[in-house]
Amino acid sequence: MIKLYDFELSGSCYKIRLFMNILGLEYQAQKIDFVNKEHKTEKYTALNPFGEIPIFEDDELRLRDAQAILIYLAKQYDSSKQWFPDDAASMGKIAQWLSTGGGEIMNAAGARLVKILDYPLDLGKLQAGAHRVFKIMDAHLATRQWLELDRPTIADIACFPYTAMAGEGGIDLTGYPNILSWIERVKRLPRFIPMPGISAPQ
Ligand SMILES: N[C@@H](CCC(=O)N[C@@H](CS)C(=O)NCC(=O)O)C(=O)O
């Protein structure tokens, strides 16, 4: 049985909820009281010493990090191999964006934490970091519909939530028209689900 340690407002947890819904997987959600830092208590640092969510379990397997979990889900449950194919070139191309989704785009996640949960972080630095990566992403998306392989992959899932919610961190996406089109494209994926801050497609 799959279990996700989850917080509704977490874009990182949403990556996993979204992909599991797309794959049609059933799972049990264990809600974490993120606002009161339950994920930092001993009970949860025993599961993930980094003190972060998502945490994911599938029977005896336990994983941390949304990107690692996306890889596992694709390899274990997507028999079509559409979302993370086996060939080395495709894996490398997708991995670039998994890294970006868990790396540079997290500047936008940090900015959002400052704005909505009063995290004591440097908002200006986070916003500038987010703009740096969005400029690169927008140029990349000028000639393609999806981040890699001309079809949706886990690269798109990993980069989507905190890009789509950038506005909640005070990051204006209007200067990035290719990103805005890509966001709408992701929202039209079969079995897409919204979350607070990411609306269903219009
Ligand atoms: N590398 C992890 C980072 C996940 C992450 O930053 N999670 C946030 C919630 S969205 C968290 O648990 N932060 C700990 C905290 O702010 O206390 C991933 O991509 O899954």
Count other Cβ atoms within 10 Å, centred on residue 118. Answer: 8
Contacts of 112 (CB under 8 A, 6+ apart): 11, 162, 165, 166, 168, 169
The residue among 180, 148, 177 whose CA lies nearest residue 164 is: 180
Owning domain of residue 54: 2-77
Q: Is 71 in the pocket of ligand 1 (CB under 6 A)?
A: no
For 36-63, the pLDDT digits (tens) are 999 999 999 999 999 999 999 999 999 9
**How far apart, in whole angstroms, are the C-alpha atoms of residue 150 and residue 25?**
25
192 occurs within a structural domain:
no
Q: Is 12 in the pocket of ligand 1 (CB under 6 A)?
A: yes
Same domain flag for 93 and 180 = yes
Same domain flag for 140 and 179 = yes
36 occurs within a structural domain:
yes
CA 143 to centroid of ligand 1, rounded, Å: 31
Q: Is 153 in the pocket of ligand 1 (CB under 6 A)?
A: no
**How far apart, in whole angstroms, are the C-alpha atoms of residue 39 and residue 48?**
9
User: One-letter amino acid identity for 77?
Assistant: Y
Q: What is the pLDDT of residue 202?
A: 75
Smallest CA separation from ligand 1 atom 2, residue = 65
Written as one string, the DSSP assignment of 15-38 is: HHHHHHHHHT---EEEE--TTTTG
pLDDT along the chain (202 residues), means of 10: 97 98 98 97 98 98 98 98 98 98 98 96 98 98 98 98 98 98 98 97 82
Q: Is 4 in the pocket of ligand 1 (CB under 6 A)?
A: no
Number of compact structural domains in the chain: 2
φ and ψ at residue 63, rounded to 5 degrees: -130, 150
Same domain flag for 26 and 60 = yes
Q: What is the pLDDT of residue 159?
A: 99
Same domain flag for 73 and 23 = yes
